[in-house]
Structure formats: structure tokens, C-alpha cells
Amino acid sequence: MPARATDARRAAVLGKPIAHSLSPVLHRAAYDELGLADWSYERFEVDEAGLPGFLEKLGPEWAGLSLTMPLKRAVIPLVDEISETAASVDAVNTVVLTEDGRRIGDNTDIPGIVAALREHGIEQVDSAAILGAGATASSALAALARICAGEVVAYVRSEARAAEMRRWGERLDVGVRTADWADAEQALRAPLVIATTPAGTTDALAAAVPERPATLFDVLYDPWPTELAARWSMFGGAVVGGLDLLVHQAVLQVERMTGRSPAPLDAMRRAGEQALAAR
């Protein structure tokens, strides 16, 4: 049961580093739109070592937490219950704090990816490619388990990463084939390309964008557009950006924490766009 939306409540995003997080902007915009004048949303820099102590100090006024790296796996032993979605990738990005003091771990990144793609008309694809093999890549695989009918090719830099992605594929029941990063240009011809790598990593691929690209989902949002996304758009391909993911996963967090649905997607997106423009 979510926290009551009628009382003064607190929520926050935790991680390290955390100063760059847009979550306060998005959640506060939602509270304003929903008329939750007594709700607040902050950010706290917390690492794995500090997480247990932070959680223990939370009072009954707390409704929920958003978690970013490096806390998405560290929090799992500290919650009372974990959703099937979060368990599928061993990653919790949302903790709902209930009135009876329980901590419920969830993952809104996976349905957020699906929702962001659906908003751009992508309901199902025959195959897909993933650039990268980190934590976001596993969430991307979990999302593709819901919408991809065929093979997913993951382009990675090491055999250790390749083996990890194949294990995630087996666990999520997704057909995963791995390929060397040196051949990543081939990924750009897939019906759906999901780029999960850090800023600058895919810049060298921009020159290889095909004349008629399909859909690119680049999880970065700052700086934006990436060189790959800009080139993709120039050639007429569909582009889904990191802000799309950030907003959709935040919408789900707001709904879970406040008990109000639907959360104000458009107002949250505008707030995020304005914050990024101000940077």
C-alpha cells in the first residue's frame, strides 16, 4: 500500500555522485501539478557504506526513495520485499515506504524503457541491438524480453562482458548473441538500437549511420543530442532519448509513492527540458 497522498510527506533520490540528478525537478513538477503542496523531494549523496544508516534514520513522514548508482543492487538486502521486475535484473531503483514501516523495492527503469518506446510507436520489433553491457544494458534486455520477438545482438568490449550478457539473456529468456565492439557499426542496421554506454563512447559510430536508419534509443540525456543521435535524426531515423526514459520511469515512481495516477507526464517532461536547457 503506497503512502497517503494527503499528508506532508518526504521523498528523495540517493546516489553518488548525485548533484547532476534531474529527479528532484521531475518529482517536484509532479507534486505541483497534483496539488501536493506539502510534499518535498530532495537529493542526498549516499554510497553503499552509508545506505543502511540512511535508511534506519527515516521517519514515518517518508514516502519513497529513488536510487541511482551505485545503490541499485546494494539496497536489495535492505528491503522487506522486492518486485518480480526488480528481481529479474537484481536492480532496485525505487523504494516505496509504507505506512506500516515496510520497504518495498521495485524497478521502474524496465517498464520506463517500454513506455518510452511505446510513446514513439514502437510496440514490437523482430530483432534489436544493444551497445554496451553495463547495468543499463541488463534493464534494456529485460525490456526487450517484453517487445522483441527475435534475436538481440549485444556489442561489447570483452569476453567477460559478453559472457555476462549471455547469462542475462538466459535468465530473461531472450536470445542473445554477442559481438565485438570493433564491429559495432553493424548494430546500426538493426530495427532497434539501444545505446547504453557512457557519454562519448558512441561518437565514433556517428559516421556509420546508414542512409535509412530505423530507431535509436540512446539512454543519455546530458549532453544531448549525442553525436550518434544527431546524425541519426539528420538521416530521418526515429530517436528516443534518455530524457524520455528518465521521465517515464519517474512517472511510475510518482504513482507508486503518492498513490496518485496518472502522474503528469507532460508537466514532468517540460520541467526536465527546461532544466536541461538551463544547463
Residues that are catalytic: 72
Q: How far is CA 81 from CA 58, 84, 95, 179, in A?
A: 17, 10, 10, 36
Report d(CA 97, CA 243) in Å as an integer.
26
- Is residue 210 classed as helix, strand or coil in its secondary structure? coil
Q: Is residue 23 within 8 Å of 13, Cβ to Cβ? A: yes
| Per-residue cell: 272 | 526536465
Count the neighbouring beta carbons within 10 Å of the beta carbon of residue 134.
16
Contact yes or no for 54/107 (Cβ under 8 A): no
Let me know: does 86 contact 107? Beta carbons within 8 Å: yes
* Number of helical H runs and strand E runs in the chain: 9, 12
Q: Strand, coil or helix: what is 11?
A: strand
> Which are the contacts of 35, defined by CB distance < 8 A and separation ≥ 6?
none
